[in-house]
Structure 1
Amino acid sequence: MSKDIRIKRGLNISLIGEAEKVTTEYSLGSVFAIRPDDFHGVIPKILAKEGTEVKAGEALFHSKSDERVLFPSPVSGKVSEIVRGARRKVLAIKITADEKQKHVDFGKKNIDEMSGEEVKSHLFNSGCWPFIKQRPYDVVANPNQEPKAIFVSAYASAPLAADYDYTLRRKEAELQAALKALSKLTSGKVHVSIAKDSNESPFLKLKGVELHKVSGPHPVGNVSTQIAQIDPINKGEVVWVVTPQDLVVIGELLLTGKFNITRTVALTGSKFDKPQYVTALAGAQVSDVVKGNLNTDNVRVISGNVLSGAQVDEDGFLGYYDNQFTAIAEGDDYEFFGWNKPVFNKISTSRALTFSWLNPKKKYDLNTNTNGEHRAFVVTGSYEEVFPLDIYPMQLLKACMYKDLDEMEGLGAYEIAPEDFALTEFICVSKQPHQKIIREGLDLMRSELG
């Protein structure tokens, strides 16, 4: 039996370049990279030095704070380079892939016979633990603290996001295996949310989960929105979050004994000649995934969606948790009298000289131009129109900026992640970096309060 979740506050951003439901399988590619920065808050301890031969699933580094948390190679090959930055910080570990792939055999498992500790140990040894993230703080989960519940959002409402109903087709066995195993790690429920009008979601047939059907504008697909509606987080409580594509990796590991981090990646945005889906491994090089399909004239490529993804170059790599590349025009032009004329080709929540509200189904070809410069916060009341959580967004942002821990706690910082402020950042007339502010605030709380 499902519980419906419907929100009214939010904003759907309709863009040109939605991926056609066609999947192209490219060759493996030559170079892959794992970036420790993808695992926020983790300080890496290198295990595989330059020149080391590794198999797919073999650990490249572990967390300095907990050596059980391993981070594996997505492919077999040779560690060709360890890229370092200031103070010898590890920026990336590059692997040159073998033509014929070799995998570490972790062994098939009978999930019914496994205890919770055995499941946890298997996830540690195979390098699958980083797929489990926790709230509060939106970091890799602390294995020493039991969650009160586990959440999976199987509906992505962000602009041009990959369609989970399509990318997870015929993955019911892997999803069921992963969810059955994860349910042994909590005494609470495993909550799964799907789109209300979805008739093809593989989660409809799965057992042992609490199913919820969601509807409304973005960010209804954000797991924070769903947690707030289903089982809000109080001080001292922890919930774990896993994405559907990562459930497939965990499930395949349990069923076959192999660590296979192949993703169905959506190529979206107006700068792709043919927006579509492709198969790729996490850490794949951008040029290998988008080859022959990208219009490179004045383009910005983003690993993830346009609101919360990270900019990458063509020689960059697919983020470890990402299943989408977005390519849109670089907004490096100046619009003459842009502040003082009617606007028909942009999205706005305001009705002052803007007309996107007249045609809500229109799709826009937006660029990266911020249409203004950084300035002090302007109190407009517009943030609350797109922010569905029962939190005062501007007050929380300011509390993070002046580092008032008591106020951050009182205003609900335990419940949020940076992505929850992507929409308020998008509509911000002050051009403040909301997600960066929230991330710095959460880091401060984690370091001071634990």
Structure 2
Amino acid sequence: MKALILAAGEGTRLRPLTTNTPKPLLTVAGRPYLAHLVQALGDAGIKEQVILVGWKANRVKEFFGDGRQMGVELSYLEQKERLGTANAIGVAEGVMDGDFVCVNGDVVMAPEAVAEMVSAFQKDRRPFMGAVEVPEPQRFGVVQHDNGKLVRIIEKPSDPPSKLINGGFFGLTTEVFDHIRRTGRSPRGEYEFTDTLNMMAAGMDVAVRKIKGEWMDVGYPWELLRANEFLMGRLKRDIRGTVEEGAVLKGDVVVEEGALVRSGSYIEGPAYISKGCDIGPNCYIRPSTCLGEGVRIGSSVEVKNSIVMKRTHIPHHNYVGDSIIGERCNFGAGTKVANLRFDDRTVRVTNKGQMLSSGRRKLGVVMGDDVKTGINAMIEPGTVIWEGTVVGMGARARGNIGPNSKVF
């Protein structure tokens, strides 16, 4: 059995994080988040996997290669035009020559749940869709079913027939391609796989299987933080780098070979320190912090529940909490990131021109690549700073700050 992973999207809602980096390569828990899915499918017994790529396809291919380093066999298809999810799956016709599992590349779920879904499909070979129970299904495609048999999927209903939504995990047979060819364009001009599934449900038995355990669809930056928190919670302690005498590492901390943790550093797991990192002396790394390759965390710095990407320097007297920091950023001394509103409400973020609730009580900054801050710069909760921006000495950054801006 093969797996098809849909990973062609641009991830525009995740910008500025995806301006230079394709969405599948964004780091969570020490690895690109797509790597966690590839590994889970491989561990479930599906070694032959096809990744559908699009945006910055070559970057994805270069990173994953043929998959041997992960114990799987990877190949690639490219979706030239973004014409919807049904079109995306249709690109694989001829390559998927038998029963196959199809997974949205945005999905993060427990490896044991992946294994359970794959095992059930291998046993009965009946087409299925994975469904997830959520408290507010009105915002999603809601699954209507009859004793575990799909009736239809209803997009964003005001009166949902259930609390189950489309979980982006499917077991399919080659019959799906005939249904895709007969799927018409939706009002927004795309070929929607939900329309294909509704067509299938009208003429054949499509099972609805509930996905157990943690599940999330990474669409917004703050959801990347949530995925990181979940996957970091599954880390096991592994110290391979250099840890100087006087450093304290508590709990499940990973220190890759080639990383240096200097004396006086205090690290609480789960935490991930990638190769080439230089940590300390005398800093505090708090739980669910993931530091990418070559990151520098200096003296009197505190980092909490954050993702800091490659070659970023946070060198002295800084606080970063509940934030995502892009590559090659540089923090001036005393730069602080606030992560909590005075009124204790959930932090709101401007995304694609809309003010959205992150659903998080604590959220700091979403920072693109190559951002620089001067000494004593201040960044408000929920701020988005796009790539190439400079925040000057003592300046206050807030809202959504466009690329290559100057804030003084």
Shorter-normalised TM range? under 0.3
Higher strand share: 2
Q: TM-score, normalised by structure 1?
A: 0.26
TM-score normalised per structure 2? 0.27
The higher-RCO structure (CA 8 Å, 6+ apart) is 1
